[in-house]
Structure 1
Amino acid sequence: MAGTTLAYDRAGSGPPALLLHGWPGDRSDWALVGDLLEADVIRPDLHGFGESAPAGDPSAAGQTAALVALLNDLDIDRVVVGGYDVGSRVAQTLAATHPDRVSALVLAPPLPGAGRRVLEPDAVAEFWYQSFHQLRLAEELVDGRADATRAYLRHFWDHWSGPAFTVSEERLDRLTARYARPGAFTASIGWYRAGAGMVRASLAEQPPADRLATPLTVLWPEFDPLFPRAWSDRVGDWFSAADLRPLDGVGHFSPVEAPQAWAAALTEVLT
């Protein structure tokens, strides 16, 4: 439709659920979760990712505007939003700027509250890639090079996932095909170049005068090296109705690693 600038999959019937992926992934991150839901499931590729690359504004504001246009085109007034990684940040922006469109949030980190802890040695050792993505060298070494892209993606999927999860070669093949197209990798790191990465966001954050009232379920993984559970201690400073739940045995890619847990949490707020 005319206003839609995002590629997306839509399947199922029932209350609508909008599921937002992370980096380095795409809308297929939510395929297993979507199959478990009795809902009208919408899974877009965010701007700069998958089949939505390279066009569009990669910032949180630009991603939010594209999602509102998508909901308008689909004639959806209110929606439950699930998200992790980049998708979590975008979902929070959508709920904060368009609270009338979001009935509930189900999110994995990042959530606000890390503050200057993001500069601690262990965190700096994990978030190096966000500084690397600011350099032209990143695109010169990776963009358009299938072997380099696959190796780069494999590093993150291996390092960030939980100990019981191994990324499949099929998933790596699909993501490599998406990210290795000329310009696609550079488009995907546009999110970080737009200033939306964890380090910048954490150093700039301040608790709002009025906390976000949208009901929030937080699924915090046990083995995500980027977001230790200690950083969950200030979620209530930003959200007035937050239900914080541990997601044991799981790493960063929680919708892929634990689709049943995600489906259960989403089902609670969809019904």
Structure 2
Amino acid sequence: MSTRSDLPPDSPLWGHGELRDSAGQRVHYTRGGSGPTVVCLHGWPGFWIDYRCLRPLLEPDADVVAIDLRGFGGSMDAELAADHFGRAGQVGVVRDVFDALGIAQAVLVGYDVGSSVAIQFARESPERATGLVLGNPMHPASAPLALEPDHRGEFWYQDFHQLRLADELVDGRPEAVLSYLRHFYGHWGHRPAAFHPDHLDDLVRAYARPDAFSRSVNWYRSGSSTVFAALAARDAEFPPPVAVPASVLWGAADPLYPPTFAEGLEKTLPGHTLRVLDDVGHFIPLEAPDETAEAVHRFL
């Protein structure tokens, strides 16, 4: 059954499900449609609702699973150290979802945090990924650009998220969460008309619960964020390329990851296709669901 993007996040029509990962932690997901499986991985600040516009476009032809990564949305349980929320931990969560739901292979869709996790999953388990559809993905070749003095300021929030002061100022405070997240949607997004009218309110309800904001920023505290990854990349060997075919959509109006950041992507994703979307910002699946759906359908 196809779902409608205007349904509230708690509607049962989204097909909510829950399982336990190999660490015993709760993992929430939504699922709908039938056909080849597509697994969607969200960004920060987000959760599965990032795919509210894409799901109805895919479900007539695909079985669509949208996961809340560890520490996001409904995937919160016992307290864990920050390193459990990093790239390796999140890849493990995705693998556990595949196993628990009996998914042998799937197309992976991701942007922001989700693109990083999708790439690493495909690197480690290429036989389980039939294709990648990625929005503005970070990759090692772009590390020098992320650290350039004239661009480093865009990543200020990643430094802020390292501080316990961030918890004190934002966590569990709905008005503070609204102000904080509204900044990112206003600064990073470029097609505001594409956002559902209630999307920010839905996001705030999820992030304003006690501990929700604090757990979401554990991605940054794990050392997996852009800045820490870029610093590590300066002295590390280049990771092996990913053999899985990839379609990359790049929002040219994204101030965080501008189009120049696509340079050198072939070292990570050889043979990928690149489509630049001139009037799209950072939130690819929300701002450009039609273009994202078109890219996914090519892998089905």
TM-score range, shorter chain: over 0.9
CA deviations on 1:90-122 (whole Å, 9 max, x unpaired) are 101111111121111110123212122212233
Asked whether the 8 Å contact 1:157–1:167 carries over to 2, the reply is no
User: How far apart, in 2, do the equivalents of 1:151 and 1:68 lie?
Assistant: 35
Task: Please tell me whether residue 149 in structure 1 is matched to residue 166 in structure 2.
Answer: no
Of 31, 51, 55, the match for 1:34: 55
Q: TM-score normalised to the size of structure 1?
A: 0.94
Residues 108-117 or 4-13, more deviating: 108-117
Q: Say whether the 8 Å CA contact 1:48–1:188 is kept in structure 2.
A: yes
Deviation at 1:75, TM superposition (A): 0.7
Q: Would you tell me which structure has more helix in proportion to its own residues?
A: 1
1:180 aligns with 2:208: yes
- TM-score, scaled relative to structure 2: 0.86
Task: Give aligned pairs, total.
Answer: 270
Question: Corresponding residue for 1:225?
Answer: 255
Which residue among 163, 168, 180 is the counterpart of 1:135?
163
Aligned-residue sequence identity (percent) comes to 44
Q: Within 1, Cα distance between the matches of 2:77 and 2:280?
A: 31
**1:1-271 to 2 correspondence within 5 Å?**
3-4=20-21, 5-37=26-58, 38-55=61-78, 57-112=84-139, 113-162=141-190, 165=193, 167-205=195-233, 208=238, 210-270=240-300
Give the CA deviation at 1:167: 4.6
- Point out where structure 2 has 5 or more consecutive residues left out of the alignment: 1-17
> Equivalents in 2 of 1:139, 1:166: separation in Å?
30
Q: 1:86 to 1:143 in 2, by over 3 A?
A: same
Taking structure 1 as reference, are residues 135 and 65 closer, same or farther at Cα in structure 2, changes over 3 Å only? same
> Is the CA contact (8 Å cut-off) linking 1:158 and 1:167 kept in structure 2?
no
Q: Could you say if the C-alpha distance between residues 203 and 165 of structure 1 is closer, same or farther in structure 2, counting changes exceeding 3 Å?
A: farther
The Cα RMSD (Å) is 1.7
User: In the alignment, is the contact (CA less than 8 A) between 2:195 and 2:287 conserved in 1?
Assistant: no
Q: Which runs of 5+ in 1 are unaligned?
A: none
Aligned residue type for 2:185:
W
1:186 partner letter: S
Question: Which deviates further from its counterpart, 158-167 or 126-135?
Answer: 158-167
